[in-house]
Amino acid sequence: MSLPHAILGFLNVMPMTGYDLKTQAFDRSVAHFWPAVQPQIYRDLARLEAAGHVRSETEVQRGKPNRRVYHITPAGRTELDRWLRTSPAVPGHREPFLIQLFFGAGLANSELTALLQAQRAGHQARLDALQAVTIPPPAPADVRRQTLTRLTLDLGLHLERAYLNWLDDALRTVAALDPAPAPAPMTDTDA
């Protein structure tokens, strides 16, 4: 749902190739909240072209492969505009780590701690990456756009900090658990 519209959003700023979209646009700005891989971008570009939302021309280059440059059409701009005003449902949250924790009563405290610490390292790295993003000094015409960009970064910061706080709580809680591993859930063999 969102990826084609993100592509339209970028092409609405300037025409680009699929490769540009991946390396210049996605990986440098929205990757923190919407990572995209190349095959997906190419596929959605093909679909958008079929739908008349974008069009492309091939630029011949010497020595390098040809560039297929996509640009948005008026119909694409209309669609983007419509979508931007449409309120999306809050999507279901998926947290694979919590499944482990939920079923992890049979693990030793040390094993639980190791899992929590691995998550901690991953989320700390995320937070560091977000904090390393520098927003260039505001060009006066761009204040509005930059403010919104800063807000998207802020959400990442809020969520990663909250996650880290929870991990620290969880580490303390696990450390305080009676070290006896839980009775194994009923099994065929030991019943």
Site for DNA in 33-62 (CB under 7 A): 35-40, 42-43, 45-46, 61
- Residue 67 touching DNA (CB under 7 A): yes
Pick from 1, 43, 51: nearest CA to 21: 43
Among its own copies, DNA, none, the one that 19 touches (CB under a kind-dependent 5 to 8 A) is: DNA
Q: Is 154 left (phi over 0), alpha (psi -120 to 50) or beta?
A: alpha
Work out the burial of residue 109: count CB atoms within 10 Å of its CB; fewer than 13 is exposed, 13-18 middle, 19 or more buried.
middle
User: Which residues does residue 67 pair with via DSSP β-bridges, in sequence order?
Assistant: 59
- Residue whose CB is less far from its own copies, 132 or 151: 151
- Residue 27 touching DNA (CB under 7 A): no
- Residue 144 touching DNA (CB under 7 A): no
Which residues are CB-neighbours of 15 under 8 A, at least 6 positions away? 69, 70, 71, 72
Pick from 187, 126, 122: nearest CA to 156: 126
- Site residue total, DNA (CB under 7 A): 28
- Residue whose CB is less far from DNA, 123 or 174: 123
**CA–CA gap between residue 109 and residue 187 (Å, rounded):** 22
Among its own copies, DNA, none, the one that 186 touches (CB under a kind-dependent 5 to 8 A) is: its own copies
Span 68-107, contacts to DNA by CB under 7 A: 68-69, 92, 94
Interface with DNA (CB under 7 A), residue from 8, 18, 79, 80: 18
8 A C-beta contact, residue 33 and residue 47: no
Smallest gap from Cβ 68 to DNA, in A, equals: 4
- Residue whose CB is less far from DNA, 16 or 112: 16
Residues forming the site for DNA (CB under 7 A): 1-3, 17-20, 23, 35-40, 42-43, 45-46, 61, 63-69, 92, 94
